[in-house]
Structure 1
Amino acid sequence: MPRILLHIGAHKTATSYMQKKLALNVDLLARRGFHYDPLETFRKGFTLLLNEETTRENDYVKLLNGKAKSMSLLISEENIMGVPGDLPREHKYYIRARQRLARTAELFHTATPEIFLSLREYAGFAVSMYSEYIRHQKYLPFAEYRAIFEASNFSWLSVIDDIYAAVPGAKLTLWDFADFRNFEKQVFQSMLGFDPDIFENPVGPVRESFSEVAIRAIEVLSGALKHDEVKKLVNPIARNLPKGDQYPAFDPMDAEAKASLKARYKADLAAIAAKYPAVTFIGNRP
């Protein structure tokens, strides 16, 4: 029976890598009974609908629903839950995740989607989301961003609550981003039901991460140039000042803050496991 599979992120948990890997193997997936559209195609045809108040089907959604009658529909789109700009603008990550997920399920005529989500410890997640935010939006000092993050009291347990409130019949599979490289095969196998060793693998970095000096360069340029001018320079700066031995990674959290957030993350994972025993954890279960 065809399945509806939603890989909804989270952001900064190897989603770009997974999407690139799936895109490289579209023909193989089709032969195995899965329809997958690369992110750019799906985002253009579907994700913008989540910003509207209507649940109308456009031609692209009708096409996908037609495919879903005979093939499993595999979707990988972290923006289904929201975007990195949610925190600075609305003071909460994924503030409309419940509505957006419910709308997604309605548009694909399913009450029982299989949802896949990677979680990440809070310090690393906040720093990476900040980096993603300034990649696209006007520069904001990390100290200001961190203050908003801390005030939001962000919790993965609340995200899971929203998922089940939106789609009570969902089958949810989780894994820790820190474990992804060790359990990548199990993640894909859980999604697809076959050994992913037959996949072609992406080559090279999918997206550059920021070094400390790259962030400082962006900060300086933001004080001298217009936002549109800085935005054009962000990716070249990241490529030419990559994190590594020469340029240490952007790491603005002190050890005490990291330890506190790590403890909170561990407690929240245990709370998720206790509250939702039907959730599948890939890798090291809390």
Structure 2
Amino acid sequence: MTDLTVALHAGAHKTATTHLQRTMADNMALINEAGISFRGPNAFRTPGATLRHMFEIGLKMEEPIPGGPQAMLKNLADGRDRLIISEENFLGSLNPPDGPFRRLLYPDGPGRLESLAKRISPCPLDLFFAVRDPATFMQSAYSQVLSSGRKVSLQDYVNDVPPKKISWFRLVRRLVEKNAARRIWIWRYEDYPKIQEQIYSHLLTPEIARSIVPHPVRVNKGLSQAAVEACLSDDPQSPSAPEAKAHYPVGETYPRYDGFSEEARRLSRIRYEDDLERIAALPGVQLLRP
């Protein structure tokens, strides 16, 4: 097991994680042939058998696997030299079940990363993580809340937390300070379509990256302005979010929902670019750019 390397793709949520996971699944034969094991979220979404349960990070499995975390690691690697885990829920949830948007992104994430690194030691751990402009990130999170059935306004959901107050730098700095990951690879969600080969080059190998065929369609398109208005209507016959999404799909006819003012979006972009510059200067962090 000492020759095994582990890569954790930990999100963030709403940064094309599902598209990356489906691309990996589409190219599974190629990845397996290269001696790499990929485990996506479906491997960690069984109640009582999440990634945290498996590696005994603040939780205990009802029936612990004989041999503990090292045996689990061996099972997941399946005899291959590199294990890639993609599970955006590992660092924490994006939305509390009934609460507002979190002021601090993934507050328990750095501690969980540190625990995982200890459980898999001496195998080195690489972290892969995407960030996104806070304004569109919060709007996408809000759309997810509506899709779950909660009927809440954007104003109540953001809880007086403007996008300019959301800091990716603060989170990444805390991840770095734990000194748990050998390397941390970061990219902008907005750059994802242009840098997929770069991402797969580091996640897999440069040779395999050149042969990876991206998943052909965008997975989650969010909600349109008309769909959000329909969901929030006081009409007893108002549609559910999935119904509204199907009836008012994002496109030329129905523009994407945008609940923040132009000024709020401008300030969000400024904070975002400042965060990215500071993230790129952190030790052990590689910011991927087109």
Q: TM-score, normalised by structure 2?
A: 0.83
Name the residue aligned to 1:173: 185
Name the residue aligned to 1:43: 45
Q: Give how far 1:102 is off.
A: 2.4
Moved more, 139-148 or 115-124: 139-148
Name the residue aligned to 1:65: 74
1:269 to 1:205, Cα distance in 2 relative to 1, 3 A:
closer
Q: Give how far 1:78 is off.
A: 1.1
Name the residue aligned to 1:196: 209
Name the residue aligned to 1:242: 249
Q: TM-score, normalised by structure 1?
A: 0.85
Q: Give how far 1:18 is off.
A: 0.3
Instruction: Check conservation: 1:92, 1:149, Cα contact below 8 A.
Output: no
SS at 1:140 equivalent? coil
Q: Deviations for 1:149-174, whole angstroms, at most 9, x for unmatched residues?
A: 33993211111122123344431011
Q: Give how far 1:91 is off.
A: 4.2
Residue identity in the other structure for 2:195: F
Name the residue aligned to 1:211: 224
CA distance in 1, matches of 2:136, 2:197: 23
Could you say what the CA RMSD is over the residues aligned between the two structures, in angstroms?
A: 2.9
Gapped runs of 5+ residues in structure 2?
none
CA distance in 1, matches of 2:52, 2:42: 12
CA distance in 2, matches of 1:135, 1:99: 30
SS at 1:188 equivalent? helix
Residue identity in the other structure for 2:94: P
Residue identity in the other structure for 2:194: N
CA distance in 1, matches of 2:144, 2:162: 18
Residue identity in the other structure for 1:254: S
Q: Give how far 1:141 is off.
A: 0.7
SS at 1:4 equivalent? strand
CA distance in 2, matches of 1:149, 1:213: 24
Of residues 29, 32, 56, the one that matches 1:30 is 32
CA distance in 2, matches of 1:210, 1:191: 31
Name the residue aligned to 1:271: 278
Of residues 146, 150, 167, the one that matches 1:134 is 146
Q: Deviations for 1:179-200, whole angstroms, at most 9, x for unmatched residues?
A: 1111111111121113434234
Q: Give how far 1:254 is off.
A: 1.1
Q: How does 1:114-133 map to 2 (within 5 A)?
A: 114-133=126-145
CA distance in 2, matches of 1:251, 1:206: 19
Of residues 6, 10, 13, the one that matches 1:11 is 13
Answer 1 or 2: which has greater helix percent: 1
1:72 to 1:134, Cα distance in 2 relative to 1, 3 A:
same
CA distance in 2, matches of 1:282, 1:76: 18
Name the residue aligned to 1:76: 86
Q: Give how far 1:55 is off.
A: 6.0
1:64 to 1:136, Cα distance in 2 relative to 1, 3 A:
farther
Instruction: Check conservation: 2:228, 2:241, Cα contact below 8 A.
Output: no
Gapped runs of 5+ residues in structure 1?
none
Q: Give how far 1:240 is off.
A: 2.8
SS at 2:128 equivalent? strand
CA distance in 1, matches of 2:187, 2:177: 20
CA distance in 1, matches of 2:101, 2:230: 24
Moved more, 85-94 or 241-250: 85-94
Question: What is the aligned residue count?
Answer: 277
1:111 to 1:36, Cα distance in 2 relative to 1, 3 A:
closer
Q: Is 2:113 the counterpart of 1:101?
A: yes
Name the residue aligned to 2:168: 156
